[in-house]
Structure 1
Amino acid sequence: MPFLRGIAPVRYTQKYLEAGKIILQPEIKVMTVNYNVNQKASSGLYQFQFWHLPQIKYKNADLQIVRFKNMTPTPFIQFFFLNGEKQIVDAYDRSREEIHEHVLHAFCEQPPEKQAYYYTQKTKFNPANFGFHCDHWCICEIPGQRPCPGYTPMPRTMKGKYQQSEES
């Protein structure tokens, strides 16, 4: 690996980046990391951002990550959600592993079986969705909508091929 330079270049190898476990929920759009470089209480968060931030960036392409150095009295991580909600993780005097486990259990996606259940429940109750796992198969089942042309023929004026031929 002759081209890897800098402090701990293993952090930017493909194998290391793919080994990251933190895949955040899609509702999280911004993550801020606030720490002080030469503060003992911030050493765990500094190590967390040093070792795990490249993996988080790699696994969460749509996530914006902002680091604030030496701007806060206590270290913390703040997450901003799509709906405007904010959540703060206190990292004061916590180790890198403790912070990693907390973020992993609190803000990461659910296992696939829980995701499937959540998706079916979410789509089932949204009246704008049609098809499998939804309340309605087609929009023609909603009162006040035009019936499907397979059951009731459409008037000629509503068919696109007849409108184009009449205009020319």
Structure 2
Amino acid sequence: MPFMKGAAPIRRTLQYLEAGNIIFKERVKIFSIHYNTLGDNHRGTREFVFWHLPQIQFKNPNVQVITLKNMTPTPLIRCYLTDGSDMLIDVDDCDKDKIHDHVLQVLGKEKQTLKMEATALEKKDNPANFGYMCEKHCICEIFGQVPCPAVVPLPKMWRGKYKNEQV
């Protein structure tokens, strides 16, 4: 399996990508990280990019994520918002977990909002849903489907005992 090669191949698995919990607010449009590949004060930012950036990209498909290497003396995160303003986060000498928690607190959606969005996605009024706690109890109630044999008998040619008997 070629995707399991390289440094920490677990980062490319779907289970790992779905485990990320940073989901940005709707107002975040561009998320850029500035850091250097050398230096002790950039170590936490490098680790954050290595471990958490794939999850951020996976969970936020409508947000542009940019990494700018070796262009700044101190590491920082810059976010551009929908109203045209930008937000700077200083991550100098911070470890990856501290950066993760701070980004989640400042730019992430609240847990209550995420729960409300998850319940909205489970729409119960979808006509394709049927069964217990749904609008339709059986698929036979949906227009264009074969009615239940208990209500309307099936044609004899569709029934197994008649079909197998004629052969």
Q: What's the TM-score once normalised by structure 1's chain length?
A: 0.65
d(CA) in 2 for partners of 1:88, 1:99: 13
The verdict on how the C-alpha distance between 1:70 and 1:98 changes in structure 2, with shifts beyond 3 A counting, is same
Aligned to 2:38: 38
d(CA) in 2 for partners of 1:57, 1:114: 17
Gaps of 5+ in 2: 117-167
Shift of 1:114: 8.9
The DSSP-based 3-state class of the residue aligned with 1:72 is coil
10-19 or 105-114: bigger deviation: 105-114
d(CA) in 2 for partners of 1:22, 1:32: 15
The verdict on how the C-alpha distance between 1:43 and 1:115 changes in structure 2, with shifts beyond 3 A counting, is same
Shift of 1:3: 3.8
2-11 or 44-53: bigger deviation: 2-11
Percentage identity across aligned positions?
40
Shift of 1:111: 2.5
- The residue type paired with residue 85 of structure 1 is S
Cα deviation 1:11-65 (Å, max 9, x = unaligned): 0101100000100101100011000111110000000011000000000000101
d(CA) in 1 for partners of 2:39, 2:69: 11
The runs of at least 4 consecutive aligned structure 1 residues that moved more than 3 Å come to 113-116
CA RMSD of aligned residues (A): 1.7
Aligned to 1:150: none
d(CA) in 2 for partners of 1:66, 1:91: 16
Gaps of 5+ in 1: 117-168
